[in-house]
Amino acid sequence: MADDTLFAQVLDPAHRADPYPLYARLRATPVARQSDGRVVVSSHAAIRSLLHDPRLSSEDLPPSRRPRTGNPIRDWFLNPIKDRIANAHRPLIFRDPPDHDTLRAFVMAEFGIERVRALHGRVAGLVDELIERCRGRSEVCLVEDLSYPLPVAVICDLLGVPEADEPQFQAWATQLATALEPDARADETTRRANAATFDAIAAYMRALIKQKRRHPADDMLSGLARPAPGRGRMGEVDLIATAILLLVAGHETTVNLITNGMLTLLRHPAELERLKADPERAPRVIEELLRYEPPVHFRTRKALGAIDIGGTVIPEGTPVVLLFAAGNRDPARFRDPDRFDPDRDDIEHFGFGGGLHYCVGAPLARIEVEIALVALCRRLRDPKLLADPPPYRLGASLRGPERLGIRIAGIW
């Protein structure tokens, strides 16, 4: 009989460094009900089909309820109002059509390829500057020295957040990323910290949007704040929720892809050398990384009605975990799936999800990670991992190393 506690084991930090053997066991029952009531979907075919199934809802979160503070005005008056507003204005990643599609259209209109390409020079400059800061050292921590500061600086640039406010943004992004983990809402301390962070960042955004409306610039927030022909204007609360989503969705994920990327290349030194000699290989390397070591391992949806998939019925109301990282290593879909092979041609991965919620930041992420990995391979002299496996952060869904110590002989 299938082990119905396998997903609980996936969530256990003890398996963070190598969850793949658990995923292989889960795939033996591609649609598997767990003892906690969740259904975990782990085969490539079933995930692919469900990503395009309108009966799966992304509005899977329970209504937000701020933790009690002991202050009656807050507990009975202010916070219930805030909760109602927050519940009505979830960011688009937690919304279904038609609201999802309306909000996404605003974002897509501002995420044109020209805007993304224009960031190329800025990303390259930042990467150079961050690597240059490591000169004279014999050890670096990739997360702290490059993977972490780079994406937050890029998102601030994209949105039009002043450079001086970036450190504050980094702290907010780190805290809010915990809200994407399945069990975060159950933990009172995390909920309290997330509510406080959300209030702080929302107040900051409100002021910044006001300023952008008065003095529009050529940035995404100014673009989102102005009325779009045929679509009208995005409401203030949705605008704030969207800006916060872009910060959170684009930060931790990119951090993890850069870090996982370098970790994987250091574990496969021949591939590192090939990339170093031929940077044109970068797009292949990155697509394979998104399959082999993706930053987002799973997302949870909810079944709006009973869904029959491959002979198994998922009952209405069931939380459904789409285990992207397991589908990415499905032997029924990929030859030799546990092998890191940038030369494979058939590479339909779920690294950026799929269907309606496919990542809007994918082109930007690809540019950032490509520039970072190529520069790291070319400029770090004789890099060696200090610990393998490295220590991991707690998150099972947004999974990635907490630190990545690398010994270097210098900077080229």
Catalog residues that contact ligand HEM under the rule CB under 6 A: 58, 92-93, 104, 155, 245-246, 249-250, 253-254, 257, 295-296, 299, 351-353, 357, 359-361, 364-365
From CA 401, how far away is CA 148, in angstroms rounded?
A: 11
Q: Give the full edge-to-edge strand order of the sheet including 319-322.
A: 31-33, 39-41, 319-322, 299-303, 56-57
Minimum CB separation of residue 203 from ligand HEM in Å reads: 21
Q: Token pair 């070319």 is at which residue?
A: 378
- The minimum distance between CB 202 and ligand HEM, in angstroms, equals 17
The distance of closest approach from Cβ of residue 297 to ligand HEM in the complex, given in angstroms and rounded to an integer, is 9
- Rounded to a whole number of angstroms, the minimum distance from the CB of residue 235 to ligand HEM is 17
Q: How many residues does the chain have?
A: 412
Shortest approach of ligand HEM to residue 251 CB, angstroms? 8
Closer residue to ligand HEM, CB minimum distance, 66 or 111: 111
* Residue spans of alpha helices (H) in 52-144: 72-73, 79-88, 99-110, 113-118, 120-132, 142
CB-nearest residue to ligand HEM? 361
DSSP-derived secondary structure letter, 70: S
Of 80 and 121, nearer to ligand HEM (C-beta) is: 121
Name the minimum Å distance from CB 320 to ligand HEM.
12
The nearest distance, CB 411 to ligand HEM, in angstroms, is 25
Distance CA 367, CA 251 (A): 14
What's 11's DSSP letter?
H
381, β-bridge pairs: 410
Q: What are phi and psi of 303, to 5 degrees?
A: -80, 120
Dist. CA 252–CA 229, nearest whole Å: 33
CA angle 87, 204, 60 (to 5 degrees): 20
The residue (of 26 and 364) whose beta carbon lies closer to ligand HEM is 364
Q: Of the two residues 155 and 374, which places its CB atom closer to ligand HEM in the complex?
A: 155
Interatomic CA distance for residues 16 and 9, integer angstroms: 10
Kindly tell me which of 66 and 320 has the beta carbon lying closer to ligand HEM.
320
Q: How far apart are CA 328 and CA 79, in angstroms?
A: 42
Beta carbon nearer to ligand HEM, 155 or 307: 155
Residue number, 107 or 272, with CB nearest to ligand HEM: 107
